[in-house]
């Protein structure tokens, strides 16, 4: 886990959105005719926490394991471990998308 938590000697929170991780969990939930809200109730955890863990914004090996166990899937299939390089690429992509949205918003205000 230390590998994930350090990039260039600095902590890397908040974590970037991990679309692949989210997609994998949502597919597993759909296979069980469930959604994040129902999962949170079954695990007796706040929906916001479950959502942050599923999309990779928060890392919690214990909760990830509980989710995987509940969905009867291997934890590494649902929650792939990311290298610092992968996290860096996700951050750059996220920053680029934010910049594009900001530009669009500014163009809309100017019109």
Q: What is the CATH number of the domain that holds 72?
A: 1.10.260.40
Give domain status of residue 7, yes or no: no
The whole-number pLDDT of residue 26 equals 97
Please state the rounded mean pLDDT for residues 97-107. 88
Separation of alpha carbons 110 and 6, rounded Å? 41
Number of domains in the chain: 1
Is the pLDDT at 7 greater than 60? The verdict is no
Q: Is the pLDDT of residue 111 over 90?
A: no
- Whether residue 90 lies inside any domain: the answer is no
Measured distance CA(1)–CA(6) in Å, rounded: 9
- Residue 5: what pLDDT? 42
Residue 38 domain flag: yes
Q: What is the pLDDT of residue 107?
A: 84
- Give the pLDDT confidence score for residue 1 in this predicted structure: 42
pTM for the structure as a whole: 0.76
> 110 pLDDT exceeds 90?
no
Q: Is the pLDDT of residue 4 over 50?
A: no
- What is the chain's length? 111
- Mean pLDDT over 84-108 rounds to 88
Over residues 24-79, the pLDDT tens digits come to 999 999 999 999 999 999 999 999 999 999 999 999 999 999 999 999 999 999 99
Beta strands 6-7 and 10-11: pairing type?
A: antiparallel
32: containing domain: 13-82
């Amino acid at each position: 886990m230390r590998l994930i938590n350090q990039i260039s000697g600095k902590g890397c929170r908040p974590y970037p959105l991990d679309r692949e991780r989210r997609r994998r969990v949502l597919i597993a939930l759909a296979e069980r005719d469930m959604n994040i809200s129902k999962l949170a109730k079954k695990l007796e955890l706040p929906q916001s926490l479950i959502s942050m863990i599923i999309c990779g914004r928060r890392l919690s090996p214990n909760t990830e394991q509980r989710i995987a166990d509940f969905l009867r899937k291997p934890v590494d299939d649902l929650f792939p471990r990311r290298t610092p390089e992968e996290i860096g690429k996700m951050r750059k992509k996220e920053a680029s998308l934010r910049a594009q949205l900001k530009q669009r918003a500014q163009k809309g205000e100017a019109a």
